[in-house]
Amino acid sequence: MKRGSVTAMRAILFGALFGNIPAVIAIIGTVIVRPDIGMLSEVVSGNWRAIAFGTAVGAISSAVFWSVAGPQIAVTPTDSG
């Protein structure tokens, strides 16, 4: 990831993506433990609540982070030298 200012949209997007890490681990674990399950779409459809919850919690958490720290991290430092 390049260095630079962190926008609110970027923070919320990454929060939603990182909020889905537990759901991805659950899906991978289900596929490993139950290889007879068939298609990956069946596993994902069975975990839709975890995906939705992870997306919501991640986005809300990053929005709270942005509201607290956003003004300080959004400013691009000037080069003084």
Domain ranges of the chain: 8-70
Least confident of 17-21, 49-53, 59-63, 66-70: 66-70
- pLDDT tens digits, residue range 29-50? 888 888 787 777 777 787 888 8
Contact 69, 25 (CB under 8 A): no
Q: Sign of the CA dihedral 11, 12, 15, 20?
A: negative
Is it the case that residue 79 has pLDDT exceeding 50?
A: no
Mean pLDDT of 6-18: 88
Is it the case that residue 62 has pLDDT exceeding 50?
A: yes
